[in-house]
Structure 1
């Protein structure tokens, strides 16, 4: 028996094959997400030893790379996954080849042009970001941009075969680990932030090569027929998806850029240390969403709405359930956790708590934006993201001059809450897909004793090591003990068995080649 989203007790249902497949891919993605987040966390940690200003410089360059990467992709990340999944399901090799060639060709050309323009304009752009010392870093972003774009597009295409192996192994394990090793080596050699950015460039080009080889492997069995380019359909989806993704990424990074321009790189460094800590709490969101996306595209294309709703509910439930202990620890012990980076960063404790509350709402909403996109409501999702980005910019311009990093955190969290509430309502009222069986009531009930446990141990917690060795195990055991006590439904049990048996680490199910 399981508690439904409205607190009702429902009869356990047998898990669908789609849910099981999502679990296998999601399990591998979770391993990749842990590796990715720990590597990024370690990179920020070693940079933190150079001071907040140097962390700020790295963060500003990374924000620029993320925004321009989406500009180069022009929406083809989502389009590659969606249309490849459709053409594989339809056994259509002509359209499959046309989609892959069109997506890769245009994104490579765009990234090379944008990267060259960025490198040439670095002397003028660096002062606009509040630091003339960013010239070399911006030029390295221009060098890295084509590689990051190629890797994203190629790995997105491989997901169309409903396998997460290349995406996770290359994009979430090899790339961040190589980047970490090269970054540590560069810093030990005394190369500073510029050395760390060279490490980013080298690891990105290595990942791009591996991504292309992986895509080539999946295309090899496809019959060598004349490609058919569905230009209107692909561009109609990708252009709107591009604007939507650009606005969504702008929501993530605009506060970093505005902080640098309005307050300086010192504040950017403190803010991004807090942000990196919070992102550890929601590391499960990206891998579960990545596993969910190709399956949802397949279910919507084959008009299996009820199964799509159950898949959405499972994704939302697992994101929130796996994230909740981290949220409790972040809010209760933010000051102690920030002490890991040094005593100078403890002042960002309030920022960490504010950011955590915004991400908590995002976790509870689940992959609502993906539901809109994969259901063909890309225009609606774009309007949502653009509207929320405008709201975020306005709030940042008002709050940053008055409240600094705290103002940026408030602006970001308020925008994130607004975006997710609106999209959840639209997914249910416009698309007709709700998070069936999300079990939010059960998660809320399990949270109460975990919060109590955190309060009880707080008197013995004064450092980040105390949080890791004492508070974290207590909160995790109490929370998941309560979840088990309240009862797992059939889908949760099937997913758990799949993980424990190691199925998540095998190659995901692959559709018949077109």
Structure 2
């Protein structure tokens, strides 16, 4: 293959990824704004203790929903692009995925409903938690199927639908029902009931779009033994992978609830949510990267895949640096927006922000492992590190309290990302770094110093606004001064022309 053809494949793949990432990024910005409003309403309306109960129950349901999908979300990301020219085969994959998710959701929902009093007794010891878990357990199958539908939108590279339903309608509907519930005098019970009703309606909307807009009809009847075996050979190892991922991403909240108190759960969850903004660019690029990586790998275009991998990683880190600096330097001011009691989590926020910046610094390495058929290694990674996270959280929470949970989970998150980089390099000779990545790093260090100096001169909301404007402006100016890569300028100029 000549150099011109390779550039064409790289730019075509990057174009598909950046187009999807742009749509997702815009939607995610809107989603984060709406999510910020939602959590501000909840923290102000419920207080730290009841918000902690909400966050704890929601975490249990989130873990259960991920288990209930049984790896089907990852399977549709892997198989739908591979069957792009066989729509009937795609319908069979989708049918099998829905059947798996819905039945598993019902099974786990029943278990949660029955064991809710036991969970409450051994964790937060609050009867309100029983009501929260039971109401959310009833709609667990719908939540599971809703998440699967979003995965199908990703696999079909129809980001506009994922953004519309998953990132705009979902938080907007939650804000509406929470506002109504709090406005008429209900507290936690009313809020949870409203969110449950909204969840069922959202699944109905997403399924309507899938069938009537994308023309896809789930088919559960025509799968033969070979189809079923192929589907579960890929999806089931990823169940254990998802379990491990949840153990190092969510078990900390569960253990904070067991070992500490409700208000600590709420404070901890707010720190985690704010730090999650750092991964916005990674999440955007990860929406379309998996199907593109699957196609390139299936066609053995490894050189092109490595070039896409390097550039996506550099872009992801570059975009993530400014919000990471804001969260670390101005954490006290940001947390104060949720209420004075939440400023206790400033160190938690700083630790999580550092871990999430590491997450962005390795790019889409986790998905690259899965799309290159290393699903069993992904399973082992997450399982081992999930167990390690449980052990470290137990030790560190008992010794350091709330901060200990952030140290344990943040450290495990950073470690697994570095481990994945080594694995994909060792197994497939794919590596995400070159000297070009030093420019955004240098710009970030200098901008961070400028923002810190601002914190010595100002305070409160004036510091937050002026510091963000000056810090981000300095970062962009420094990046421009150091020199934007020619390949990036050429690519984005071509995208604008097209």
**C-alpha deviation, 1:97, in angstroms:** 2.1
CA distance in 2, matches of 1:342, 1:450: 28
Q: Does 1:147 align with 2:142?
A: yes
Aligned residue runs from structure 1 range 389-404, under 5 A: 389-404=386-401
Over aligned residues, Cα RMSD in angstroms?
2.3
CA distance in 2, matches of 1:264, 1:495: 52
Aligned residue runs from structure 1 range 341-356, under 5 A: 341-356=338-353
Change beyond 3 A, Cα 1:500–1:127: farther
Higher relative contact order (CA 8 A, sep 6+): 1
The runs of at least 4 aligned residues of structure 1 exceeding 4 Å deviation read 221-226, 494-501
CA distance in 1, matches of 2:74, 2:310: 21
Q: Which range moves more in the overlay, 329-338 or 72-81?
A: 329-338
Please name the residue that 2:4 is paired with.
Answer: none
CA distance in 2, matches of 1:167, 1:459: 43
Q: Does 1:120 align with 2:117?
A: no
**C-alpha deviation, 1:23, in angstroms:** 0.7
CA distance in 2, matches of 1:324, 1:425: 23
CA distance in 1, matches of 2:216, 2:124: 51
Q: Does 1:451 align with 2:427?
A: no
Q: Does 1:430 align with 2:422?
A: no
What are structure 2's unaligned runs of at least 5 residues? 1-6
Aligned 8 A contact 1:148 1:205 in 2: yes
Change beyond 3 A, Cα 1:116–1:221: closer
**C-alpha deviation, 1:490, in angstroms:** 4.6
CA distance in 2, matches of 1:450, 1:358: 19
CA distance in 1, matches of 2:263, 2:170: 28
Change beyond 3 A, Cα 1:219–1:500: closer
Aligned 8 A contact 2:247 2:389 in 1: no
Aligned 8 A contact 2:92 2:219 in 1: no
CA distance in 2, matches of 1:152, 1:307: 31
Aligned 8 A contact 1:27 1:499 in 2: no
Aligned residue runs from structure 1 range 129-148, under 5 A: 129-132=123-126, 133-148=128-143
CA deviation map 1:415-438 (0-9, x unaligned): 011110100110111122222668
Please name the residue that 1:69 is paired with.
Answer: 65
**C-alpha deviation, 1:448, in angstroms:** 2.3
CA distance in 2, matches of 1:352, 1:404: 15
Question: TM (normalized to structure 1)?
Answer: 0.90
Change beyond 3 A, Cα 1:235–1:487: same
Q: Which range moves more in the overlay, 159-168 or 289-298?
A: 159-168
What are structure 1's unaligned runs of at least 5 residues? 1-12, 504-514
Q: Does 1:470 align with 2:463?
A: no
Aligned residue runs from structure 1 range 56-205, under 5 A: 56-88=52-84, 91-132=85-126, 133-205=128-200
Aligned 8 A contact 1:320 1:363 in 2: yes
Q: Which range moves more in the overlay, 79-88 or 275-284?
A: 275-284
CA distance in 2, matches of 1:327, 1:158: 29
